[in-house]
C-alpha cells in the first residue's frame, strides 16, 4: 500500500485550528493511489490582474478570490479562495488542484423602456381614438335623452362576415325601417320611414303623411304604434314623426351622402304596395339631380290616395306620375336604378356598409290607373341625400318650416 506524505512545513494549512477539513490533508485515504504524473500545487498563488468576473456559461459567474495584498515569493500562500474540501477536478487525486468558487449570477438587469417611445405610442393611440370618434361624430341630441347615430364617413354596420353583401345589409338595417300608413280625407297613403332614435323618432317623406288624420306605424317585428307629426318641410319633402310609448327600437346609422360616388352599390328597403321589408338593390346612377315635387297638400292627397299611389314629380323638363301642380319645390337628389315602387317613399337608400345615404322620395312607374300591363320600376328612382336630412333635423324637431 502506497501512502503520500506532505513534507512538514512545505505548505501552511489555512484552516488550522478550525473544525473544517484542511484544503490539503496530510494523509490521503489508503485506497487513493498516488498519481506520480499529477502536478503538485503551485508554491505561490497565480498573479491576478483584477477581480473581474469570468462568465463560464449562461447563468453562472465565477469570481476569482481576492488577495488582500501581493504575495511575496517564499511567503505562505493563502488558499482561502479555493475549495476547502478539495472537491472539483482535483478530488480523488490528493486534492492537489483547487477550483475557483462559483458564485450564482445575480438577477439580470431590468431593461428600461424608452420613455420617448412610450409617449409616442400613447400619442398615436389618442389620435386614433379621436379619428374613431370622428367617424361617429354626429351624435346629436334629439329629445334630451336620446340620440341619432350619425357618421361623418362610412361606418361598418354590417358584420364583417357579410360585409359588402345585400343579405348582410338587409339583415343589419331592416329592423330600422318601418311601414307608415296614413289615413287621409279621401283615402289612405302607404309609405316607409327610418328610425333615428330608440324612442321612436322617424324620418319619412312629407307627401306620405301630408294631410293625415291618423298615422299608424308597423316595425319589422310586427308591432304597431300610433304616431304623431313632429314637423314637416314640404320644400324638401321631409317629415319627422314620433311613435307613442315606444322604446328600445333599433336605430339606423345616418351616413355621409357627400362621399357617395356614381357606380356605388346600394340597397333600398321599404314597403312597396304594402309589402313590408321589401329589399332591392342597384347602383347610384347619378348625383345632384334636380327633382321637382308639389308642395300642395291637396296634390299630395290626390297622388297618394287617388288610387294609383303615384307621387307626381318633374325631372328633366318632364312630368312623371301625373301633374305636379303650380306650387312646387326643387331639391337635389341621388339617382338610383334600385327598384323603387309606390310605398318605397320615405324608405332608406343604403350603402354596402349599412349606412343610410338617402331617403327614397320619387320613382317613376309606367303603370297608369287603367292598366297594369306595364307596371313596375323602370330604373328611375330618386332619394333625398341624407346630409340634407341631417341638416334639417333641428328645424323638423321644432315643427319644421311649414309650421
How far is the C-alpha of 311 from the C-alpha of 304, rounded, in Å? 6
- Please indicate whether residue 401 is annotated as part of the active site: no
> How far is residue 313 CA from its own chain's centroid?
42
Report the SS3 class of residue 149: strand
Q: Which three cell numbers stand for residue 60?
A: 453562472
205-to-61, 103, 115, 247, 360 alpha-carbon distances in Å = 84, 86, 57, 23, 8
The DSSP 8-state label assigned to residue 325 in this structure reads -
> Who contacts 123 (Cβ-Cβ below 8 Å, separation ≥6)?
none
What is the spatial distance between Cα 375 and Cα 366, in angstroms, rounded to a whole number?
6
C-alpha cell recorded at residue 17? 485550528
C-alpha cell recorded at residue 157: 354596420
Identify the active-site residue in 176, 189, 207, 285. Answer: 207
The one catalytic residue among 174, 176, 220, 237: 237
* 8 A C-beta contact, residue 365 and residue 120: no
- For the question of residue 237 being annotated catalytic, the response is yes
Query: What cell does 341 get?
Result: 315602387
Q: What is the DSSP string of 6-32?
A: PPTTSS--TTTTSSSPPSS-SB--TTS
Select from 393, 287, 305, 391 the least CA-distant residue to 349.
Answer: 287
For residue 188 the three cell numbers come to: 289612405
Among 192, 345, 361, 365, the active-site one is: 345
Q: Find all residues with CB under 8 Å of 168, minimum gap 6, and list them.
A: 158, 159, 161, 162, 354
User: And the C-alpha cell for 288?
Assistant: 345632384
3-class DSSP state for residue 388?
A: helix
Annotated active-site residue 207? The verdict is yes
What DSSP assignment string belongs to 339-361?
---TT-TT-EEEETTS-EEEEEE
Residue 304 in 3-state DSSP? Answer: helix
| Catalytic annotation, residues | 207, 237, 345
Amino acid at each position: 500500500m502506497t501512502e503520500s506524505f506532505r513534507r512538514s512545513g512545505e505548505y501552511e494549512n489555512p484552516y488550522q485550528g478550525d473544525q473544517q477539513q484542511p484544503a490539503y490533508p496530510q494523509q490521503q485515504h489508503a485506497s487513493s493511489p498516488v498519481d506520480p504524473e499529477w502536478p503538485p500545487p503551485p508554491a505561490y498563488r497565480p498573479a491576478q490582474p483584477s477581480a473581474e468576473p469570468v462568465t463560464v456559461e449562461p447563468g453562472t459567474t465565477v469570481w476569482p478570490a481576492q488577495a488582500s495584498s501581493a504575495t511575496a515569493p517564499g511567503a505562505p500562500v493563502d488558499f482561502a479562495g479555493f475549495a476547502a474540501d478539495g472537491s472539483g477536478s482535483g478530488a480523488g487525486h490528493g486534492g492537489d488542484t483547487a477550483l475557483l468558487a462559483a458564485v450564482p449570477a445575480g438577477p439580470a438587469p431590468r431593461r428600461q423602456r424608452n420613455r420617448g417611445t412610450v409617449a409616442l405610442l400613447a400619442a398615436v393611440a389618442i389620435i386614433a381614438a379621436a379619428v374613431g370618434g370622428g367617424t361617429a361624430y354626429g351624435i346629436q341630441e334629439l329629445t334630451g335623452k336620446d340620440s341619432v347615430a350619425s357618421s361623418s364617413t362610412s361606418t361598418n354596420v354590417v358584420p364583417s362576415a357579410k360585409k359588402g353583401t345585400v343579405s348582410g345589409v338587409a339583415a343589419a338595417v331592416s329592423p330600422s325601417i318601418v311601414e307608415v300608413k296614413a289615413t287621409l280625407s279621401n283615402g289612405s297613403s302607404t309609405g316607409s320611414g327610418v328610425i333615428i332614435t330608440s324612442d321612436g323618432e322617424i324620418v319619412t317623406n312629407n307627401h306620405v303623411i301630408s294631410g293625415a288624420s291618423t298615422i299608424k306605424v308597423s316595425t319589422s317585428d310586427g308591432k304597431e304604434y300610433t304616431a304623431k307629426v313632429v314637423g314637416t318641410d314640404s320644400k324638401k319633402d321631409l317629415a319627422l314623426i314620433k311613435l307613442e310609448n315606444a322604446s328600445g327600437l333599433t336605430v339606423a346609422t345616418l351616413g355621409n351622402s357627400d362621399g357617395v360616388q356614381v357606380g356605388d352599390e346600394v340597397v333600398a328597403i321599404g314597403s312597396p304596395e304594402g309589402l313590408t321589408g321589401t329589399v332591392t338593390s342597384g347602383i347610384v346612377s347619378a348625383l345632384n339631380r334636380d327633382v321637382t315635387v308639389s308642395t300642395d297638400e291637396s296634390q299630395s292627397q290626390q297622388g297618394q290616395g287617388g288610387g294609383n299611389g303615384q307621387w307626381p314629380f318633374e325631372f328633366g323638363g318632364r312630368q312623371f306620375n301625373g301633374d305636379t301642380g303650380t306650387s312646387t319645390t326643387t331639391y337635389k337628389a341621388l339617382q338610383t336604378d334600385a327598384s323603387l315602387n309606390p310605398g318605397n317613399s320615405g324608405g332608406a337608400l343604403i350603402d354596402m356598409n349599412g349606412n343610410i345615404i338617402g331617403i327614397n322620395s320619387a320613382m317613376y312607374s309606367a303603370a297608369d290607373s287603367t292598366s297594369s300591363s306595364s307596371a313596375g320600376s323602370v330604373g328611375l328612382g330618386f332619394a333625398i341625400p341624407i346630409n340634407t336630412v341631417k341638416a334639417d333635423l333641428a328645424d323638423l324637431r321644432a315643427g319644421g318650416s311649414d309650421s
